[in-house]
Amino acid sequence: MPELPEVETIVRDLRKKAVGYKIVDFWTDWEKSIKMSLGDFKKKIISQTIEKVERRGKNILVFLGDSWVMLIHLKMTGHLLFKNEKTADNKYFKERVNLYIRHIWYLETGFFDKKAQLEFSDLRKFGKIRLIRINKLGEDLELQKLGVEPLEEKFNIEYFWKLTRDRKRKNIKMLIMDQALIVGVGNIYASEALFEAWINPNRKAGSLTKKEVGKLYQAIVRILERAIELRGTSDSDYRDSKGAPGGFQKVLKVYNRKGQECFRCDGTVERATIGQRGTFWCESCQK
């Protein structure tokens, strides 16, 4: 499932590529993704201009004029592709993972009559699209449930320390993956951050010292920033707006390396299921 670095990569791409375009038409072959009638949805978005693109957790927020925000959640296998005349020969668009197009926004801009398409490829058809009135965005119940953004100022060592003190019975991996506390730290990045901080994912959050909490805080921020720099992790279906895979999978230290030698010591990478998710760590150096 795309997590914070993957969604942030797409958002940054769309800020550069899609802002200023007007939606002139919309096509779908899977109406269930749209959380209102197709007729109403098209009526509200067509002729609207994309003013800005933001992210909240794993939600992409596309601001349309001064009336609506289009919320897109990629779910397990979704990704957005931006296509125009310059990308007609893009080799990535022809790859299997980019061929499951469920929705298309047809775009135009007045500058030199440029045309483009924003396409939603979604193999499993779990993606979600809905509209929120801009003046009601702060009242949206789904968005209100989300925790702090780990790359913003509110997420600091003191805040993180308090979280671990209030969650003494929860293991640390489950805490940092709890979207109601901290958003976007997915399974891959939780395993990698815990490895970098030398902390066993099975440890109870309340057992961590303040020094360990500080190390883990720094590791989370570094891992997420590095993953964004490398345009996300393409462990499975994720692709960026050009249809290209990310690069963070090339520098993974523990994730998906069960039975292989630890990069840091003579230990072996272990795997177990924690909270129904595969978790990887080195038993020898993560304490």
Dump pLDDT digits (tens) for 181-193.
999 999 999 999 9
Same domain, 134 and 167: no
| Residue 3 is a catalytic residue | yes
Closest CA to 118 of 128, 106, 130, 135: 106
So what's the pLDDT on residue 88? 86
Catalytic residue chosen out of the listed positions 3, 119, 196, 270: 3
Q: Which residues of the chain have pLDDT under 70?
A: none
Range of the domain at 259: 157-282
Number of structural domains in the chain: 2
Residues 269 and 178 in one domain: yes
Hey, what are 281's tokens? 């760590």
Give yes or no: 42 in active site: no
Last residue of a domain, one of 119, 144, 169: 144
277 is catalytic: yes
Q: Are residues 169 and 103 part of one domain?
A: no
- For the stretch 22-46, pLDDT in tens is 999 999 999 999 999 999 999 999 9
pLDDT recorded at residue 110: 81
Q: Can you give the CATH number for the domain in which 68 is found?
A: 3.20.190.10
Indicate which residue of 58, 83, 102, 257 is catalytic.
Answer: 58
User: Which residues, at least 6 apart from 273, have a Cβ–Cβ distance to it below 8 Å?
Assistant: 279
SS3 268: strand
pTM: 0.96
3-class secondary-structure state, position 168? coil
Length of the chain: 287
Q: What is the pLDDT of residue 178?
A: 96
Residue 40 confidence (pLDDT) = 98
Residues 190 and 134 in one domain: no
Which pLDDT value is given to residue 165?
92
Told to judge if 270 belongs to the known catalytic residues of this protein, a careful annotator would answer: no
Ramachandran class of 181: left when φ > 0, alpha when ψ lies in -120 to 50, beta otherwise: alpha
**End-to-end Cα, the chain, rounded Å:** 28
Active-site choice (114, 125, 203, 277): 277
Q: Give the tokens for residue 95.
A: 């790859």
Residue 216 covered by a domain = yes
How many Cβ atoms are within 10 Å of 32's Cβ, its own excluded? Answer: 11
Q: Is 141 helix (H, G, I), strand (E, B) or coil?
A: helix
pLDDT for res 167: 76
Position 168 scores a pLDDT of 75
Supply the pLDDT for residue 186.
92
